[in-house]
Amino acid sequence: MTLSELAQKALATRREVLRMIYRAGAGHIGGALSAVDLLVVLFYDIMNYRPEEPDWPMRDRFILSKGHSCEGYYVILADRGYFPREELTSFMKYQSRLMGHPHPEIPGVEIATGSLGHGLSVAVGMALAGKRDQLPYRVYCLLGDGELAEGSIWEAAMAAAHYGLDNLVCLIDCNGLQISGPTKQVMNTQPLAAKWEAFGWAVRAIDGHDLQQIRQHLNLVPFSTGRPSLVIARTVKGKGISFIENDYHWHHRVPTSEEYERAMRELAGPGRQGLEDDR
């Protein structure tokens, strides 16, 4: 996909995320928007998978460890054909399978996440299985920076390096904010790169909204043979909507109708009003 096509996908994904949350009256808008560009590059450009054959053994695996940011993930899975786009309208509604956190009942989702600090261990298990079976697939795991306070993350980081899992790629959506405020104030996990390097990972820091940079670096994994790769992606919580950006109060706030319309106009692409449907 060209960079401009990726940018179009990212914009359309953000619009759909906003629609889903507004319609449901619930969701995690801040973290969903900060992760969109990373997800778009992974799912439209980097990963090998077959939506028509979700259990294809050679597929690259993806785990959204920060499971509350599921909206963008659902939009992309639907767009790739795992389930009908119409189903997005049921997000968090009664008896919908699109609940507020991912679950394997949703086609394309590998594992349930939502309780933080779980995803990387599961990713390690999948990467280890790939190594033992000598299969060429990779495992990608997206973490939030607030999530890093969970001790299980570091248990998994240790194990990934111990087993030399260079088929494992971890991305940290580093938006610097969590539900109670700035991550540095809630629980400072800096210096991140030094910590992960000390744990045996090959680390690169990038701009998590620069599609070209994301793509460039993800195309270079493993950054070091025999070591797991970590991408520290600097991102903006609520990216794309000016009055939501960088405000932790928007961790899971739902826009009012006025805010919704204003946000939609901001997310409009060239020549669009923003409020119309993307289909």
70 binds other proteins (CB under 8 A): no
Which is nearer to other proteins, 3 or 158 (by Cβ)?
158
Residue 126 CB, shortest distance to other proteins, in Å, is 4
Buried residues in 6-31 as b, exposed as e (16+ CB within 10 A)? bbbbbbbbbbbbbbbbbbbeebbbbb
How far is it, in rounded angstroms, from Cα 65 to Cα 115? Answer: 8
Rounded (10°) angle between helices 211-218 and 29-41: 60
Strand partners, 230: 170, 203
Buried residues in 135-144 as b, exposed as e (16+ CB within 10 A)? eebbbbbbbb
Which is nearer to other proteins, 13 or 69 (by Cβ)?
69
Residue 80 CB, shortest distance to other proteins, in Å, is 20
How far is it, in rounded angstroms, from Cα 33 to Cα 239? Answer: 5
Residue 51 CB, shortest distance to other proteins, in Å, is 18
118 binds other proteins (CB under 8 A): yes
Is-contact 154 191, C-beta < 8 A?
Answer: no
Residue 148 CB, shortest distance to other proteins, in Å, is 15
Residue 20 CB, shortest distance to other proteins, in Å, is 23
147 binds other proteins (CB under 8 A): no
Read off the DSSP letter of residue 7: H
- Chain centroid to Cα 166, Å, comes to 20
Read off the DSSP letter of residue 199: T
Binding segment for other proteins (CB under 8 A), chosen from 5-13, 155-163, 236-244, 264-272, is 155-163
Binding segment for other proteins (CB under 8 A), chosen from 31-39, 149-157, 233-241, 255-263, is 149-157
Residue 158 CB, shortest distance to other proteins, in Å, is 7
219 binds other proteins (CB under 8 A): no
Count of CA atoms in the C-beta half-sphere (13 A) of 221: 28
Binding segment for other proteins (CB under 8 A), chosen from 2-10, 103-111, 207-215, 236-244, is 103-111
47 binds other proteins (CB under 8 A): no
The binding site for other proteins (CB under 8 A) comprises 57, 103-104, 110-115, 117-118, 120-130, 132-133, 151-152, 155-156, 158-159, 162
